[in-house]
Amino acid sequence: MFEKVLIANRGEIALRIHRACREMGIKTVAVHSTADANAMNVRLADETVCIGPPPARESYLNIAAILSAATITGADAIHPGLGFLAEDANFAATVEEHGFTFIGPSPEHIRLMGNKVAAKEAARRLGIPTVPGSADSVPDVTAAEAAVCAIGYPVLIKASAGGGGRGMKVARNAAELARLLPIAQHEAASFFGCGEVYLERHLERPRHVEIQVLGDGKGGIIHLGERDCSLQRSHQKVLEETPSPALNCTEREQLGTLAVAALGEIGYRSAGTLEFLYQDGEFFFIEMNTRLQVEHPISEMISGIDIVREQLCIAAGVPFGYRQSDVKLCGHAIECRINAENSENFRPSPGRVTGYHPPGGLGVRVDSALYDGYEVPPYYDSLVSKLIIHGKSRNECLMRLRRALEEYVIGGIDTTIPLHQRLAVAPEFIDGDYDIHWLEEFVRRAK
Q: How many residues bind ligand MV4 (CB under 6 A)?
A: 17
Contacting range for ligand MV4; rule: CB under 6 A; set: 35-43, 161-169, 243-251, 336-344:
161-169
Dihedral sign for Cα atoms in the order 148, 149, 151, 152: positive
DSSP state of 387: E
Q: Does residue 232 bind ligand MV4 (CB under 6 A)?
A: yes
Q: Ramachandran region of residue 288, left (φ > 0), alpha (ψ -120 to 50) or beta?
A: beta
Amino acid at 233: R
Rounded to whole angstroms, the Cα distance separating 174 from 145 reads: 7
Contacting range for ligand MV4; rule: CB under 6 A; set: 158-166, 209-217, 248-256, 320-328:
158-166
Among 99, 127, 164, 373, binds ligand MV4 (CB under 6 A): 164
Task: State in angstroms the smallest separation of the CB of 290 from ligand MV4.
Answer: 14
DSSP state of 331: S
Cα distances from 8 to residues 55, 174, 383, in angstroms, run 15, 46, 17
Residue 180 or 203 having the CB closest to ligand MV4: 203
278, with CB counted inside 10 A (0-12, 13-18, 19+), is: buried
Task: State in angstroms the smallest separation of the CB of 438 from ligand MV4.
Answer: 10
Task: State in angstroms the smallest separation of the CB of 284 from ligand MV4.
Answer: 7
Beta bridge partners of 348: 341
195-214 binders of ligand MV4 (CB under 6 A): 200-203, 206, 208
How would you list the strands of the sheet with 169-171, edge to edge? 169-171, 155-159, 197-201
Q: Does residue 171 bind ligand MV4 (CB under 6 A)?
A: no
Give the list of residues 6+ apart from residue 161 with CB closer than 8 angstroms, or none: 114, 115, 116, 188, 192, 193, 194, 196
CB 349 within 8 A of CB 342: yes
Centre a 10 Å sphere on the Cβ of residue 47 and count the other Cβ atoms it contains: 16
Task: State in angstroms the smallest separation of the CB of 310 from ligand MV4.
Answer: 25
Taking alpha carbons only, the member of 68, 50, 57, 419 closest to residue 239 is 419
Task: State in angstroms the smallest separation of the CB of 237 from ligand MV4.
Answer: 8
Among 21, 171, 286, 370, binds ligand MV4 (CB under 6 A): 286
CB 339 within 8 A of CB 382: yes
Residue 98 or 201 having the CB closest to ligand MV4: 201
Selecting among 16, 111, 269, 291, the annotated active-site residue is 291
For residue 291, indicate whether it is catalytic.
yes
Contacting range for ligand MV4; rule: CB under 6 A; set: 15-23, 160-168, 181-189, 326-334:
160-168
Residue 120 or 386 having the CB closest to ligand MV4: 120
Q: How far is CA 81 from the centre of its chain?
A: 10
Residue 47 or 251 having the CB closest to ligand MV4: 251
262-281 binders of ligand MV4 (CB under 6 A): 277
Q: Does residue 131 bind ligand MV4 (CB under 6 A)?
A: yes
Task: State in angstroms the smallest separation of the CB of 80 from ligand MV4.
Answer: 20
Task: State in angstroms the smallest separation of the CB of 120 from ligand MV4.
Answer: 11
Taking alpha carbons only, the member of 176, 178, 180, 179 closest to residue 168 is 180
Centre a 10 Å sphere on the Cβ of residue 270 and count the other Cβ atoms it contains: 25
Contacting range for ligand MV4; rule: CB under 6 A; set: 1-9, 107-115, 194-202, 349-357:
194-202
Among 36, 216, 287, 300, binds ligand MV4 (CB under 6 A): 287
3-class DSSP state for residue 293?
coil
Q: Does residue 435 bind ligand MV4 (CB under 6 A)?
A: no
Residue 65 or 286 having the CB closest to ligand MV4: 286
Q: Does residue 138 bind ligand MV4 (CB under 6 A)?
A: no
CB 293 within 8 A of CB 104: no
Interface residues toward ligand MV4, by CB under 6 A: 131, 156, 163-165, 200-203, 206, 208, 232, 235, 277, 286-287, 436
- List residues with catalytic annotation: 291
